Amino acid sequence: MNRKLAIVILFMLVSFSVRADDDGYFVAYETLEMTMNKFQYLAGEVGRKYEPNKQVRLTVAEVNLSERHLSSSWEAYAVDGDNVEGYLRGYELNHDWFFHGGWYYSANIGYFHDHYEHRITKEEIDNKTLTVGSGIGYTTDDLFGVNGLYLNFSNPIRYYFNGIDETKLGNTTIREHRIVNHMWLFVGYKFQ
């Protein structure tokens, strides 16, 4: 079975198994990672809020990672050196619990595929792994006074079961990937 289909089916089963007194579904586009990588491919989330303080979300990322982004010390900081580009594919199921206003903490499970390639030597790393983790986030509704428009800042931290050891590709170092975090900024719409 195709991994994408299996993940979507898992999300649907979890989503439809929650109690019926929900606040509705939502869908959003991820803007922070996409901006840093010139909007190459797609990243976003779909979810369902239920009860006053719980929600489930499926985040999906298919992103071409630029050399500048990967080596930037304030963005990805995944490589030390030049001439390495990459690709990130990730699917993560999140369960969030709101604890104060729009603030929430979450637990997540996922699948991530990281690919790094040296542009000159053509050496590459291709890593696929299951993940588990937690995170914190903040969401706000009716952004700019528009009913249904929302913003979600999410900072998941995950453990790679099949991590990447520090590796050299040419003269560039790929940093270790065991505990990995992202900062996502989703802008979307809640259907109520």
- How high is the pLDDT of residue 45? 95
Quote the CA–CA distance of 159 and 14 in Å, as a whole number.
Answer: 22
- How high is the pLDDT of residue 64? 86
Domains, the chain, ordered by start:
3-191 (2.40.160)
Quote the CA–CA distance of 147 and 170 in Å, as a whole number.
Answer: 51
pTM, entire model: 0.84
- How high is the pLDDT of residue 7? 55
- How high is the pLDDT of residue 2? 55
Helix, strand, coil percentages in the chain from 3-state DSSP, rounded to 5: 15, 60, 25
- How high is the pLDDT of residue 1? 46
Q: CA separation (Å) from 20 to 8, 15, 59, 96, 141? A: 20, 10, 22, 17, 21
Which stretches of the chain score pLDDT less than 70?
1-23, 36-38
